[in-house]
Amino acid sequence: MLTDRLEITIDRRRLTRWLIVGVVAILILHFYWWTTDSLDLPGETLWRRLSNVDVETTFPTWLSSILHLTTAALLAIIARAADSYRRHWVFLAVIFLLFSIDEVAALHETLAAPVRFAFGLDGIFYYAWVLPALIAVVVLGIAYTRFLLELPAPIKQRVIVAAVLLIGGAVGLEMVAGTFAGTPARDGWPYFIVSTIEETMEMASAILMVDTLLLYLEERMPHVSLRIGAAAAR
């Protein structure tokens, strides 16, 4: 017989530790695959699928998508219970939901090529999607300044670090990687290092955001419950 009440406890620290261990394992496999790629060792295709952080349809892509989806869900929970800035929380949830979809659908990469050819972009703007991304960062920064300033100090600091990691990796280092695109250097060590640091920063940002939101819920909403069923009439 099913019980009518179920309590699920999430150990934030343990979850974060395991996520960090998982990312470290991915990076070790990533370096192993890169350094042994020319040797045609058995299982090479498997290592590539499990660890290559620079392409889609791999385990790291799936992990990043899940982390962004988790962030979106946590933001939605906070928005539901918040008594102020509810729209800000909701919009952030939508943004991270789009991030999650984009990780597996690669929408920004699909749109980059037409923009690049239309405007003749190259170099740091080879990945043309960084231009609208930079504009969006500025607009969001202005729109969320007051929201950010009113967050509790520890949460605010964590969110700022997560944002710096995400923007610095996804946009900043993507611009650096653009200088290698379309050149023989694309297959060399410099590009490998840049792309690896970029993806590591993005995954670190995603883990930090999940940990931060769980901490926020732990401190501000320790008794949040989940109800399955039709919404109560108001």
5 confidence band (pLDDT: 50, 70, 90): low
Q: What average pLDDT is seen over the chain?
A: 85
Question: For residue range 64-111, what is the model confidence (pLDDT) as tens digits?
Answer: 999 999 999 999 999 988 888 999 999 999 999 999 998 888 777 777
Question: Exposure of 26 by Cβ count < 10 A (0-12 exposed, 13-18 middle, 19+ buried)?
Answer: buried
Residue type, 208: L
4 confidence band (pLDDT: 50, 70, 90): low
For residue 41, pLDDT over 80 is answered with: no
Helices (H), 37-171: 44-51, 59-81, 86-105, 107-119, 130-143, 145-149, 153-167
Cα–Cα distance measured from residue 171 to residue 165, given in angstroms and rounded to the nearest whole number: 10
Average pLDDT over residues 148-152: 94
The structure's pTM equals: 0.88
Q: What is the pLDDT of residue 66?
A: 95
Residue 45: C-alpha distances to residues 2, 49, 186 (Å): 44, 6, 20
Cα–Cα distance measured from residue 45 to residue 47, given in angstroms and rounded to the nearest whole number: 6
- Whether 194 contacts 139, CB under 8 Å: no
Question: For residue range 6-15, what is the model confidence (pLDDT) as tens digits?
Answer: 677 788 899 9
> How many Cα atoms are found within 13 Å in the side-chain-facing hemisphere of 127?
19
Q: What is the pLDDT of residue 152?
A: 93
Q: What is the pLDDT of residue 227?
A: 64
Cα–Cα distance measured from residue 172 to residue 205, given in angstroms and rounded to the nearest whole number: 14
Cα–Cα distance measured from residue 152 to residue 150, given in angstroms and rounded to the nearest whole number: 6
Question: What is the DSSP-derived secondary structure letter of residue 125?
Answer: G
Question: What is the DSSP-derived secondary structure letter of residue 185?
Answer: G
227 Rama sector, left if φ>0, alpha if ψ -120 to 50, beta otherwise: beta
For residue 208, pLDDT over 90 is answered with: yes
3-state secondary structure of 74: helix
For residue 20, pLDDT over 80 is answered with: yes
Query: Among all chains, which residue has been given the structure tokens 């090479």?
Result: 44
For residue 151, pLDDT over 80 is answered with: yes
Question: For residue range 161-171, what is the model confidence (pLDDT) as tens digits?
Answer: 999 999 999 99
